[in-house]
A and B are shown apart, each in its own frame.
Chain A
Amino acid sequence: MNERAKTTKKILHEKLSGQKSTPLYSLEALKSIRQTVDQWMNSIVPEKDRKNWSTTHRTVLGSDIPRELLYTPLSNPDLDYQQDLGNSGQEPFTRGVHASMYRGREFTMRQLTGFGSPEETNQRIKFMLDHGATGLNVLFDLPTIQMYDSDDPFSRGQVGMSGVCVDSVEDMARLFKDVPLDEVTISIVTHYPSNTAILFPMFLALAEERGIPWENLRGSVQNDITLEELIRSGSEYIPPKDCFRLQCDNIEFIRKNVPQWNFITLNGYNLREFGTSAITEMAVAVSNGIEILDELVRRGYDVDSTADRLSFFWSAANDFFEEIARVRAVRRLWYKIMKHRFNAKNPRAMLMRCHIQTSGVCLIQEEPRNNIIRAAYHALAAVLGGAQSLHVDSYDEAYSVPTEEAALLSLRTQQVLQKETGVTDVVDPLGGSFYLEALTNEIENRILDEVDEIEGLGGYVRAIESGEVYGKVASYFTEQQRLIENGEIALVGQNIYRSEVEGPPINVFRYPEGVEERQRSRLQKLRLNRDSEKVGSALGALKDACLKGKNILPYSVDCARVRCTEGELFKVFKDAFGLWKPPALF
C-alpha cells in the first residue's frame, strides 16, 4: 500500500542507492586520466572548442541532450560492469535480451503491409514472404482502424486507403488465404484497445474455422491506449478509463487463451511520429506499462506470468548514437522497474523486447531517393541497439504507401544489414564506449524523470484525461517545426543543399479502384446470409458484459463467430461507455 504511494523513481532510488559497487576504474587511474585530459584541453584543443565543449545538435525528434567534444572514463567514472551492463541475456540486460543475440536468432524482418481489399493485401503478403520476409505486419485502412464498416457514411472515399479493409471474419479469411497462421509470426496492427477487442477475435475465429488451436498462434497485437485516446484524431472516442479497461481485458484474455501471443505492444513509435522527443516516447510507453501491471496485479495476476509477454515498439530517428543508446537505456530501466518496483522473479518478465520501425517523419519529399540512405542509418541504429524485429520505411512514404518496388527495397535494406555487413556477429558491439555509456545513463535518467512527472499527475490515464501529456507533445512538435523552418534542424535537400534541378520523378503508389463498391456489396450479402437472431443476441451479450464489468473478449469472439461486423461492435462500445471529448487541441 505504502509502496504504491511512492513514485517509481523514489522506489528505485531507495532500492538501488545502497548497492555495493565495483567500479571499473580505480581512483588512481581516474586521477591520472584527469591530469592528461586537463593538459590536453589546455594545450591542444582550440580555444573555441574548449568554450563550446558541450553543444546541442538539433535533430528531428531528438532529445536535445548536449554532447561533449570528447568522452573519456571521466564521463562515467563509476561505471560498474556487472551492475550497469552485465553480459547479454543477464541482468540488467543493457547489452541485450538474449545471450547470443543475433547469432542465436536473427532479427525478424517484419515489413508493414496493407492496402486495398483483403485479396490485394494477401497478394502483397505472399510477395513479401516469397522474397524472404520472416514475419508479417498487417495494417488496416482508416475505416477499419476507426471502427466503421466499409459502407458507413463515415467511410466514404477511404475504404482500402492506408491499409486493408476488414469488416468481418470473412475478410480476415480472405486476407490470410493460403497463409499458414501457425507457421508465420503475425503482427496484427490493431492500434487501439477497442479495435483489438474487435479484430483479434475475428482472427481467433478464423483460426478456429481452420482447425488451428489458439495455443499454436504466434504474433502480436498493438492494443495501446496511447493510440486511441492521446494521438488519434477521430470523430468518436470512448472515455480513457473504459479504453484502459479494454486494454487490460484484451491482455487478460489473450494471456489465458493464446499463450504464445504478445498481447500488447507498448507503442512509443506512433507517439513519437506524432511529434515528440526521444525521451517522451519512452517515458509514456513505460508509464502505460507500469499502470497496466498495477491493474493486472489488482485483478489477481502475478507479474512473472504477465510481464513476460509485454513487448515494446520504438522508432529510430536521425540522431544515430542517441537511437542506439535509447534502446539500451530503456532496456535497463525496464529491468529495474520489473525487478525493484514489481519484485519480478522470472527473468523473462524483466526483458524489454522490442520491435523497431525506422522513422517516417524523418523522410522528406524533396529528392526522395535520399530517404533510402536515411532509413538505412535508422535501421543500423536499431540493430546496434539490439531490436528483436525491424521494419524499414520506404523512400516513397513521403508521398503515399510504398510501391512494390519500394517495399522490396526496404526488405533488401534489412537483408543487406543482416547478411553483408557483419554487424550481427558480435553482441552489443558499441557497449563500453565512453560516449555511448554516458549517453545511455543520461537518457535513462531523463526517461525516469518524465515517468515521475506522469506519476505526479496522478498516473498515465489521468494524464491523458487532463490533456497534460498532450500539451507537452504539442509544444514539442510546434517547436520542431520552427527549428526546421529556421534551419536549425538541417534537412538535406530541403533546407540545406537544396537542388535547383528537379531529379527524375519516382513511381508513386496508386490505390486500386473499386474496393469500396466491392466491400459494400459483400457487406450486403453478409447481412442477408447470416443468422440475424444469433447476431442480435451476441451483440446483446457483449453490451451486457461491457456494462457489468466482465471481461468482454469471450463475448466479442462470439460476435466474430456469428459474423458481426466491426461497426456493430464499436456501436456497442459507444452505447455502453458513452462518448468522451478529448481536451481542446490548441
Chain B
Amino acid sequence: MEKRDKIRMTKKIKVLLSKLGLDVHNRGIIIVAKVLSSAGMEVVYLGNALPEEIISVAIQEDVDVVGVSSLGGAHISLGMPLLKEAEEKELKGKVIFLMGGVFPPSDGERLREIGFDGVFLPGTTRDQIVSGIERLVG
C-alpha cells in the first residue's frame, strides 16, 4: 500500500487503450477509459488500430500500460502480432500488456502464454481492473 502511494505521488500511471483491429464493439473500452481516468490515471484512447500503430503510439506516448479490447474473435490472431511487435521494439517487460473482451474463457490461459500480463473477462469489476493495473505497474 505504502509503495503504491509513493508511485502514484511521483508519477501518474499512463495507459494507452485501443480497439484491436476492426472490431466494432467499443462500449466496454469506453467504460474502462472513464474508470481509469476517474481513478487518476492518464488515458490515451486510440480508437481502432492495428498492432504496429498501437506499439508506435505506445512508444511515442511513453505509456506504462497498453490495454486492448477484442470482442470480434481476433484476440489471438491479432494479439500475437501485437506482442511480437512489442518484443521487436523492446517494449516487452517495460510496458504492461492487457487484453479485455469477449472470448472463450479458456483462451485466457493462451493469452497469458502469448505474453499478456493481464486478461480481463466480462464480469470483471471496475475495482478489479484498477487494482489489477496498479499491482502490475507497482
Residues of A within 8 A of B (CB): 142-143, 145-146, 148, 153-158, 161-162, 231-235, 274-275, 364-366, 398-401, 474, 477-478, 481-482, 485, 494, 508, 511, 585-586
Inter-subunit contact B19/A233 (CB<8 Å): yes
- In the bound complex, how far is the Cα of B53 from the Cα of A156, in angstroms? 14
A478-B74 in contact given A142-B24, A145-B24 (Cβ < 8 Å): no
- In the bound complex, how far is the Cα of B19 from the Cα of A156, in angstroms? 14
* A189 nearest CB across to chain B (Å): 12
Inter-subunit contact A233/B33 (CB<8 Å): no
Beyond contacts A400-B104, A485-B127: 17 other A-B pairs, Cβ-Cβ < 8 A, are A146-B24, A156-B77, A157-B21, A158-B23, A158-B78, A161-B77, A231-B24, A234-B47, A235-B22, A364-B123, A365-B123, A399-B102, A485-B125, A508-B104, A585-B45, A586-B34, A586-B45
Q: Is B122 an interface position by the 8 A CB rule?
A: yes
Choice from B48, B77, B127 contacting A157 with Cβ under 8 Å:
B77
- In the bound complex, how far is the Cα of B50 from the Cα of A142, in angstroms? 14
Q: Is B132 an interface position by the 8 A CB rule?
A: no
Tell me which residues across on chain A come within 8 A of B103, comparing CB atoms.
399-400
* A323 nearest CB across to chain B (Å): 21
Inter-subunit contact B21/A275 (CB<8 Å): no
Inter-subunit contact A485/B121 (CB<8 Å): no
Tell me which residues across on chain B come within 8 A of A485, comparing CB atoms.
125-127
Tell me which residues across on chain A come within 8 A of B48, comparing CB atoms.
233-235
- In the bound complex, how far is the Cα of B74 from the Cα of A365, in angstroms? 19
Q: Which chain B residue shows the least CB distance to A493?
A: B123
Tell me which residues across on chain A come within 8 A of B123, comparing CB atoms.
364-366, 494
Inter-subunit contact A154/B31 (CB<8 Å): no
Q: Which of B12-65 contact A (CB under 8 A)?
A: 19, 21-27, 30-31, 33-34, 37, 43, 45, 47-50
Q: Is B138 an interface position by the 8 A CB rule?
A: no
Inter-subunit contact B104/A158 (CB<8 Å): no
A233-B104 in contact given A156-B50, A398-B122, A586-B33 (Cβ < 8 Å): no
- In the bound complex, how far is the Cα of B121 from the Cα of A162, in angstroms? 18
A477-B31 in contact given A365-B122, A365-B123, A399-B103 (Cβ < 8 Å): yes
- In the bound complex, how far is the Cα of B72 from the Cα of A161, in angstroms? 7
* B3 nearest CB across to chain A (Å): 27
Interface SS of chain B? loop
- In the bound complex, how far is the Cα of B48 from the Cα of A366, in angstroms? 29
For the complex of A and B, list the 9 residue pairs with the smallest distance between their C-beta atoms, beginning with the closest. A157-B77, A233-B26, A161-B73, A142-B22, A508-B104, A157-B78, A146-B22, A158-B74, A162-B72
Q: Which chain B residue shows the least CB distance to A470?
A: B30
* A445 nearest CB across to chain B (Å): 28
Q: Mark B96-138, 1 if CB is under 8 A from A, else 0.
A: 0000001111100000000000000111011100000000000
Inter-subunit contact A586/B102 (CB<8 Å): no
- In the bound complex, how far is the Cα of B47 from the Cα of A203, in angstroms? 32
* B79 nearest CB across to chain A (Å): 9
Inter-subunit contact A158/B21 (CB<8 Å): yes
* A582 nearest CB across to chain B (Å): 9
Q: With a 10 A CB-CB cut-off, give which of A274, A474, A508, A586 has the most chain B CB atoms.
A: A586
Choice from A154, A474, A585 contacting B21 with Cβ under 8 Å:
A154
Q: With a 10 A CB-CB cut-off, give which of B24, B49, B78, B125 has the most chain A CB atoms.
A: B24
Q: With a 10 A CB-CB cut-off, give which of B19, B22, B73, B121 has the most chain A CB atoms.
A: B22
Choice from B22, B27, B43, B47 contacting A143 with Cβ under 8 Å:
B22
Tell me which residues across on chain B come within 8 A of A145, comparing CB atoms.
22, 24
Inter-subunit contact B24/A233 (CB<8 Å): yes
Tell me which residues across on chain A come within 8 A of B26, comparing CB atoms.
233, 585
Tell me which residues across on chain A come within 8 A of B24, comparing CB atoms.
142, 145-146, 231-234
Tell me which residues across on chain A come within 8 A of B73, comparing CB atoms.
158, 161-162, 400-401, 511
Q: Which chain B residue shows the least CB distance to A234?
A: B48
Tell me which residues across on chain A come within 8 A of B34, comparing CB atoms.
478, 586
Inter-subunit contact B104/A399 (CB<8 Å): yes
- In the bound complex, how far is the Cα of B34 from the Cα of A275, in angstroms? 15
